[in-house]
A and B are shown apart, each in its own frame.
Chain A
Amino acid sequence: MLQFVTMLDVSAIKKEFPIFERRVNGNPLVYLDSASTTQKPKVVLDALVEYYSTMNANIHRGVHTLSEEATAAYEGVRAKVARFVGAREPAEIIFTRNATEALNLVAYTWGEKNIRAGDEIAVSELEHHSNLVTWQELCRRKGAVLRVIPLTSDADEGESSRRAATNNVDSGAQDGAVLGDGNLDVSRLDEFITPKCKLVAVTQMSNVLGTVTPVEEIIASAHKVGAVVVVDGAQGVPHLGADVQKMDCDFFAFSAHKMFGPTGVGVLYGKREHLEKMPPFLFGGEMVKEVDQMKAEWNDLPWKFEAGTPNIADVIAFGKALDFVDGLGFERIRAHDQELVTYARQKLSDFDGVTVYGPAVSGGIVSFTVAGVHPHDVASILNEAGVAVRAGHHCAQPLMQRLHVPATTRMSFSVYNDFADVDSACEALKNVYKIFKF
């Protein structure tokens, strides 16, 4: 058995997640779908129960003890998030429902105010629909032009592309382009981030290929032409962390549920200079300072952007998830991810007809196809063995078109995964070959 060199004590970590006590189809759960959502440690679950059992109250508006305690706990997590991403102050942290809502907040406030007909918005070819459709629609509303920073095209990778094309489920359109190493072509940034560009929206890490994008280089290119940059950190933050000041992004969006927190909490970081000039996103209680019958004055940052009662319990529980991640450390998480990716790619290379997509160095994701078998069938057969993987287009249909596949099967790793989980997946993958009689 291989030993981890990263010193993450996976068996101890796994014990902190109650869900691993359950069985699926008679087998212990092997959870390889953390890019969709991670499992939750007991400390996070306990925090939810504790909040509702001991301090449930609405925040920012009560003088009673419970409200004071709940407010302090909620705002305490805001301060914690600010430290976690390296914001200058907690007021630069806005809680939303999820990363998608955070991105839409930027589109509907900053975007509505600043984008004009003929302006350009640049995205990358790796984007999740949340960081693509949002900007497509802003372009449509404003008559702006969407530019797409492409992946590298590398003839050396033609072999995997051809192998994929022989797969009988892969008869999609072939435009002749071959997939490179799954990295963005940074040598061509100037072509796509032009002086007309007002906004660049780019992912920190691909949810399909695990590609870690050169965000700092992209941000520098964008700032050179005066464009504002939104980084979609939903996939990246749980694996890489973030330092928004070092990165110098203007906005940074992510979701709690992909990093051991509850669902229903997203975060938008924005530079104060932008947030102050932006109009509110949603209107109602909490986001106002003074209201008379005919008009209202907006509240200070960050509450200007948090209309209505927020998701108090889940934000407070998210604080425990941040502590959990802090305790592990991103250097160790990153090394752990890479060990699993390298191991999985090596194990998959033993299977005839398996094509692995994306760079060999990636943030804990391995996407693959089996020639002649649709990814949904692969995932169904793995599920019989208790192995949870994602099959589909991963909310990244344009990237699927670029890869010339309708879908892929994706293993995605987190801190509770070990080599045995990869072994279980590969054992189950043998059943695919047995059933389809290759």
Chain B
Amino acid sequence: MDLYGEIILDHFQHPHHHGRLDHATLSGRDSNPLCGDQIQLDIMANAEGTITDVGFAGQGCAISQASASMLTDELIGKSLFEAAQMSNEDIFQLLGVPISPARVKCALLGLATLKKTITLDKLRMS
């Protein structure tokens, strides 16, 4: 079936940027109460606000973990501001397969975590 294509499964079984960062600039966490999926995201940014490293940890279904892994690839090199502007549509494009309504929350958990990680309050403090 389309949902579990090579790329998604590869990201699930070999996630990119997996693991926590020791000296993260920003950290955030979110979960999907429906299925218990969890993501923790650490972001390292330089003085100009450019993301230099990302780490994520979590547990959950293939869709939530693979989309988080794909998202981390996108973040490095972006400014914190650009990263915070990423949209649902960006995530669906990364996944590249139709996501049924029941699985949308799984697919967007990484992005939701990112949005909780990069908030205006946190940016002012950093």
Interface positions of A (Cβ within 8 A of B):
168-172, 373-377, 380-381, 384, 391-393, 400, 406-407, 435-437
* Contact assessment for A169 and B59 in the assembled complex, using a CB-CB cutoff below 8 Å: yes
A6 to B120, CA, bound (A): 65
* Contact assessment for B36 and A436 in the assembled complex, using a CB-CB cutoff below 8 Å: no
A185 to B59, CA, bound (A): 32
Given contacts A393-B36, A400-B36, A406-B35, contact A374 B62 (CB under 8 A): yes
Residue pairs across A and B with Cβ atoms less than 8 A apart, 29 shown, are A168-B59, A373-B62, A374-B35, A374-B37, A374-B60, A374-B61, A375-B61, A376-B35, A376-B60, A376-B63, A377-B61, A377-B62, A377-B63, A380-B102, A381-B4, A384-B1, A391-B35, A392-B35, A393-B35, A393-B36, A406-B35, A406-B37, A406-B60, A407-B35, A407-B36, A435-B1, A436-B4, A436-B13, A436-B62
Chain A CB within 8 A of B14 CB: no
Chain A CB within 8 A of B9 CB: yes
Contacts of A393 in B (CB 8 A): 35-36
Q: How far is the CB of B15 from chain A (nearest CB, A)?
A: 11
| Least CB separation from A437: chain B residue | B9
Contacts of B35 in A (CB 8 A): 374-376, 391-393, 406-407
| Least CB separation from B1: chain A residue | A384
Using an 8 Å CB-CB cutoff, how does the interface string of B7-45 with A read, 1 for contact, 0 for none?
001000100000000000000000000111100000000
Contacts of B36 in A (CB 8 A): 392-393, 400, 406-407
Most B C-beta atoms less than 10 A away, residue of A171, A373, A374, A406? A374
Number of residues from B at the complex interface, CB < 8 A: 18
Contacts of B4 in A (CB 8 A): 377, 380-381, 435-436
Chain A CB within 8 A of B78 CB: no
Interface positions of B (Cβ within 8 A of A):
1, 3-4, 9, 13, 34-37, 59-63, 100, 102-103, 106
A95 to B1, CA, bound (A): 45
Contact partner of B34 (CB less than 8 A), chosen from A169, A392, A437, is: A392
- Give 6 A-B pairs besides A377-B4, A391-B35, A406-B36 with Cβ atoms closer than 8 angstroms: A169-B59, A169-B61, A376-B63, A377-B61, A380-B103, A407-B35
Contacts of A376 in B (CB 8 A): 35, 60-61, 63, 103, 106
Contacts of A377 in B (CB 8 A): 4, 61-63
| Least CB separation from A378: chain B residue | B61
Contacts of B103 in A (CB 8 A): 376, 380
* Contact assessment for A436 and B59 in the assembled complex, using a CB-CB cutoff below 8 Å: no
| Least CB separation from B31: chain A residue | A406
Q: How far is the CB of A358 from chain B (nearest CB, A)?
A: 19
A171 to B61, CA, bound (A): 13
Q: How far is the CB of A401 from chain B (nearest CB, A)?
A: 10
Contacts of A172 in B (CB 8 A): 59
A29 to B55, CA, bound (A): 42
| Least CB separation from B60: chain A residue | A374
Contacts of A384 in B (CB 8 A): 1
A381 to B13, CA, bound (A): 17
Q: How far is the CB of B7 from chain A (nearest CB, A)?
A: 13
A393 to B34, CA, bound (A): 7
* Contact assessment for A436 and B9 in the assembled complex, using a CB-CB cutoff below 8 Å: yes
* Contact assessment for A169 and B1 in the assembled complex, using a CB-CB cutoff below 8 Å: no
Closest 6 CB pairs of A and B: A406-B36, A374-B61, A376-B61, A435-B4, A384-B1, A377-B62
Contacts of A407 in B (CB 8 A): 35-36
A168 to B59, CA, bound (A): 8
A392 to B35, CA, bound (A): 5
Contacts of A436 in B (CB 8 A): 4, 9, 13, 62
A171 to B59, CA, bound (A): 8
Given contacts A376-B103, A436-B9, contact A406 B59 (CB under 8 A): yes
* Contact assessment for A381 and B1 in the assembled complex, using a CB-CB cutoff below 8 Å: yes
| Least CB separation from A392: chain B residue | B35
Q: How far is the CB of B115 from chain A (nearest CB, A)?
A: 22
* Contact assessment for B59 and A435 in the assembled complex, using a CB-CB cutoff below 8 Å: no
Q: How far is the CB of B8 from chain A (nearest CB, A)?
A: 10
Contacts of A400 in B (CB 8 A): 36
Contacts of B62 in A (CB 8 A): 373-374, 377, 436
